[in-house]
């Protein structure tokens, strides 16, 4: 059962090699876990469970039951009538699955902007996004810059005039709230909104900035240049339409 569950969970990763690097597990040993030839030590099992956000029930139960929606926070009886049943259902036409270029002003340096890449995907009726923080941004905070530390994920929720997402890095105790509404443009592939940090008012840097998403689709020829350019940049280095939507030079209202 563990091997079958790990094979299914491993599909979330870009590759088995990358997954093993993030977990700090030898590739050959991980293959033994996948085939059922070997069993991880308790500390290694804990590392695997933490990485995939599951618990030790993956030893005995199918992963679908371990991650069943009945355990979802949004489906808790206290809030299901307010947030759960339909909030997590985001129609494909409202936010298509695939890669997006995003841009916003830096929270820590008002003279710089951040641009990067996120991926929107669906699992059953739920929509999620994931991506990686810029290495420079992590380094400035004195945080490790490994892929596992830089990765962020979050659920996407339907809103009356757009979508919202609660996004956090793995194990982080801070979250950002993202709101986006589609821009009625001729290409119809831009979303604009804002991102807010969950930090105290007196913490250095601003807490709210405008945010732009641009849909790229799935073609690697369009995605890879964006991935290579991810990180800090000057306002003049942003794409013209991104600068327009971000209202560079205008304070957020």
pLDDT tens by residue, 203-216:
666 789 999 999 99
The confidence score (pLDDT) of residue 132 equals 87
Q: Phi and psi (nearest 5°) for 194?
A: -155, 165
Instruction: Please tell me the distance from the alpha carbon of residue 131 to that of residue 119, in angstroms, as a whole number.
Output: 6
Q: What is the mean pLDDT of residues 89-106?
A: 93
Q: Name the band, by pLDDT with cuts 50, 70 and 90, for residue 186.
A: confident
Which residue ranges make up each domain of the chain? Answer: 2-67, 98-246
Q: Name the band, by pLDDT with cuts 50, 70 and 90, for residue 85.
A: low
Beta bridge partners of 176: 167, 197
Burial class (CB in 10 A: 0-12, 13-18, 19+), 193: buried
Q: What is the mean pLDDT of residues 229-238?
A: 93
Question: Could you tell me which CATH class the domain 98-246 is placed in?
Answer: mainly beta
3-state secondary structure of 241: helix
Query: Nearest-CA neighbor of 228 among 94, 148, 134, 88?
Result: 134
Query: Nearest-CA neighbor of 156 among 139, 124, 179, 138?
Result: 179
Instruction: Please tell me the distance from the alpha carbon of residue 229 to that of residue 116, in angstroms, as a whole number.
Output: 7
Beta bridge partners of 98: 120
Q: What is the mean pLDDT of residues 48-73?
A: 71
Radius of gyration of the chain (CA): 19
- In the numeric block, which tokens belong to residue 131? 């991506």
Spatial contact of 104 and 113, defined as CB atoms under 8 Å apart: yes
**Range in 32-41, 84-93, 112-121 the model is least confident about:** 84-93
Q: Name the band, by pLDDT with cuts 50, 70 and 90, for residue 76.
A: low
Instruction: Please tell me the distance from the alpha carbon of residue 105 to that of residue 109, in angstroms, as a whole number.
Output: 8
Instruction: Please tell me the distance from the alpha carbon of residue 156 to that of residue 165, in angstroms, as a whole number.
Output: 4
Q: Name the band, by pLDDT with cuts 50, 70 and 90, for residue 59.
A: confident
Instruction: Please tell me the distance from the alpha carbon of residue 222 to that of residue 231, in angstroms, as a whole number.
Output: 17
**Cα 53 to the center of its chain, rounded Å:** 14
pLDDT in tens, 18-56: 899 989 999 999 999 999 888 888 888 888 888 887 877
- In the numeric block, which tokens belong to residue 222? 């369009």
User: Between 75 and 218, whose confidence is greater?
Assistant: 218
Q: Name the band, by pLDDT with cuts 50, 70 and 90, for residue 138.
A: confident
The confidence score (pLDDT) of residue 69 equals 45
Q: Name the band, by pLDDT with cuts 50, 70 and 90, for residue 70.
A: very low
The confidence score (pLDDT) of residue 144 equals 75
Fold of 2-67: 434 Repressor (Amino-terminal Domain) (1.10.260)
């Amino acid at each position: 059962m563990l091997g079958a569950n790990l094979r299914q969970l491993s599909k979330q990763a870009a590759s088995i090699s990358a997954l093993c690097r993030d977990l700090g597990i030898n590739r050959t040993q991980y293959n033994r876990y996948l085939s059922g030839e070997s069993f991880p030590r308790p500390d290694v099992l804990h590392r695997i469970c933490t990485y995939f956000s599951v618990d030790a029930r993956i030893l005995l139960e199918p992963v679908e039951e371990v991650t069943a929606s009945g355990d979802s926070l949004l489906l808790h009886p206290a809030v299901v009538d307010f947030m759960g049943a339909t909030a997590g259902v985001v129609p494909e036409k409202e936010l298509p699955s695939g890669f997006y270029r995003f841009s916003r002003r830096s929270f820590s340096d008002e003279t710089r902007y951040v641009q990067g890449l996120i991926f929107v995907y669906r699992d059953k009726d739920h929509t999620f996004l994931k991506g990686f923080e810029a290495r420079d941004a992590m380094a400035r905070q004195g945080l490790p810059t490994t892929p596992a530390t830089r990765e962020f994920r979050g659920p996407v929720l339907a809103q009356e005039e757009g979508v919202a997402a609660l996004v956090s890095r793995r194990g982080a105790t801070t979250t950002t709230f993202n709101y986006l509404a589609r821009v009625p443009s001729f290409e119809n592939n831009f979303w604009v909104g804002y991102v807010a940090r969950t930090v105290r008012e007196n913490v250095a840097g601003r807490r709210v900035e405008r945010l732009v998403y641009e849909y790229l689709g799935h073609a690697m020829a369009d995605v890879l240049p964006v991935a290579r350019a991810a990180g800090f940049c000057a306002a003049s280095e942003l794409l013209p339409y991104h600068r327009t939507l971000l209202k560079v030079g205008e304070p957020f209202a």
